[in-house]
Structure 1
């Protein structure tokens, strides 16, 4: 596959699962929306008191460079119009807000005041175009230098339009708002909203784990945490399929929301299993790197990283038994992988359209399992995934709703019945699963979306 330089954060399945309109309850648009003009000083106070939530994890994922932060502060000082901030009030905590739009602006303000975190905390102004006389000035300089008093007052008293959404019914509504706000040239990752809406021990843990993952840094060419949290999403997808594949509804957003909710709620039960799974993830990425070099989960002759392909590769390569069976067979694996993208193959079709659909998700896993089974001579089976394709019209919508209504049963369904449900429309033969499913604690029901 060659050793070309990794394609840093280039994805060819960037926004495959962001449309949630089919799941949006029409009643949710009755949320109360109000506009306020909060001064910069008021916003800093709200941030300091943690009423506006900017987690330490987010502050490490600083997307703006100092020159952009500086020009934003310059705009506040001279009174130029700036985009509005959009917040949603936390359902269970009146006066506490999550950020739907404006995180980088809020972080820039907090850091200029010297009350944030990260290497840019307390930064001095630079690259200014309107007030070059303020270059190299810090907030402390503005606050203490009598000659800069008018600039200091202008900055502190500058009003910023702040829109607050209250009484929202479900997270799909906030997700829709989030996407509508981010339809410009630089779209944001839904994982940012998931981290805000589903705080908990697991959410904190996976932020740290993704930030420190050598495997993710290698495949994405990262040196620092991804500001758009796509590194978290990659690890979350792996864990969700590892533990809950039999409940995949054909909608990635619902699947990941369910995984986060379950892991957060039952963290004491899942923590040791997740720690072990992440260790296997790292071993799997290391093994894939030995086989594919810097082109893991990329189509032949493409620099773009494909998460749907990676899901299939890492699902199997993270298993010690599979790595052992494939040891020393790298050349054959690469040859077989390239062949999957030739012509109008079913694998290629499952990668290029409706990649989040249950049928195509299963097809990718089933075909790759068959390929590495043939190479290794071992019986490697794909996970059983419920069918939500055209063969069962309407099942995708039902499964999406059901995934947040109940947890995985303590015991998996008998293999024959599960296989019958999982068989896609083209009647793909499915081998019986040879591995045990990770059960979820019986007798518990997940929280409704949006609960904190």
Structure 2
């Protein structure tokens, strides 16, 4: 069993957000109260932003040393070679270039690119001599295309430049604005910054943002467990969800094992849990894995496949209280658990139904839901000695 003392404490808030459905999404039920909670005002921050005049050579060195990272959802490089060539020429002939914005992670001191990845990658690709990502194991040689044929830089690669021009390019400055969160001491502002980014018209799901903001061994473990066959049977899809809603459900399960720490909104609560536990001790990580695997196996054995698809889709409120209940009673599951579950979720059980359909992430509603589920599924009904 997981020792609550080994789970990093959180004092945050969080809410589960329902977004417009994508063709590959898991069919989650649209829980009205959760949508309303997303509209709650974000916390206020004290942010320190200051300019830094890095040379292109320094930025390239930081990139090669992995001191600059581009969030996963930003990683598509969309510029054509002509656009990138015009940027390089601007540096060489002394024209101004728009600044980039970098976020400093407090713990690692690495930079996350907030804005400017196309410019940065163009520079790095030119220094490396190859343009873009690999296609069928090959990359284009980066020569300056689309310039005037009279330009002395026309069609030149970095290696074709004379030493003076190479040094000139090395010493060019790309102004960078560095963003640091000073208060509160939790780095949640980066989540809200990325949440507001223009991502080509696609609204990012919460877990897609956490996936890059809170990188670490917990994130890796969640993606590993997301492939578990028993878990896929619970979710009802053979392949992981493209928007990582299944990963978010697992995170919700782990975070609500310690329900006493819960504070709404759910979104911030989950984010703070993931940040606080982003690199758990090896023993704790193994405990997470064992508990989740055993819980999934037991739920499938007792309730069958897709047990939380109460209506059209998977109901996350039913999921969290029942999964956590099973996790805490793995050695004492009643023999009539299936009958108890059917009684719990039948439409006539209006008291429980209200807790999974209205204000589901309200603190008192959530605690009531967990209490009712625990009492009706695992409480003493005269046959507690008959374990499953």
1:367 maps to 372
Instruction: Identify which of 310, 321, 325 aligns with 1:316.
Output: 325
Aligned position for 1:89: 104
The separation in 2 between residues aligned to 1:15 and 1:34, in whole angstroms, is 38
Higher RCO, Cα 8 Å, sep 6+: 2
Report the equivalent of 2:166: none
Asked if the contact 2:191/2:213 (under 8 Å) is kept, the reply is: no
Equivalent pair of 1:9/1:221 in contact (CA under 8 Å): yes
Residue matched to 1:140: 140
**Mapped partners of 2:333, 2:99: distance in 1:** 51
| Structure with more of its chain in strand, by fraction | 2
Superposition TM-score, scaled by structure 1 size:
0.54
Q: How far off its partner does 1:361 sit?
A: 0.8
Seen in structure 2, the aligned counterparts of structure 1 residues 144 and 22 have a Cα distance that, compared at 3 Å, is: closer
Q: Which residue of 2 aligns with 1:209?
A: 225
Per-residue CA deviations over 1:185-206 (Å, capped at 9, x if unaligned) read: 5322333444545454434433
Aligned residue among 328, 341, 345 for 1:333: 341
Query: How well do the aligned residues superpose, as a CA RMSD in angstroms?
Result: 5.1
The residue aligned with 1:223 is 239
- Aligned pairs (5 A) from 1:37-436: 46-53=62-69, 73=80, 76=83, 87-92=102-107, 94=109, 96-100=110-114, 122-123=134-135, 138-140=138-140, 150=155, 164-166=178-180, 168-170=182-184, 171-181=187-197, 186-210=202-226, 212-218=227-233, 219=235, 221-224=237-240, 226=241, 228-242=243-257, 244-264=258-278, 267-268=281-282, 270-287=284-301, 290-291=303-304, 293-294=305-306, 296-300=307-311, 302-303=312-313, 305-318=314-327, 319-321=329-331, 323-326=333-336, 329=338, 333-334=341-342, 336-339=344-347, 345-373=350-378
TM-score (norm 2): 0.61
Instruction: Report the Cα distance in structure 1 between the residues aligned to 2:82 and 2:336, rounded to whole angstroms.
Output: 58
Aligned partner of residue 352 in structure 1, secondary structure: coil
Q: Secondary structure at the match of 2:308?
A: coil
Q: Which has the higher helix share?
A: 1
Q: Distance in 1 between matches of 2:291 and 2:119?
A: 35
The gaps in structure 2 that reach 5 residues or longer are 1-22, 88-97, 146-153, 159-168
Which among 9, 16, 19 is matched to residue 26 of structure 2?
Answer: 9
CA gap 1:359/1:72 in 2 versus in 1, 3 angstroms: farther
Aligned equivalents of 1:190, 1:251: Cα separation in 2: 13
Instruction: Give the Å deviation of 1:88.
Output: 0.9
Aligned residues: 323
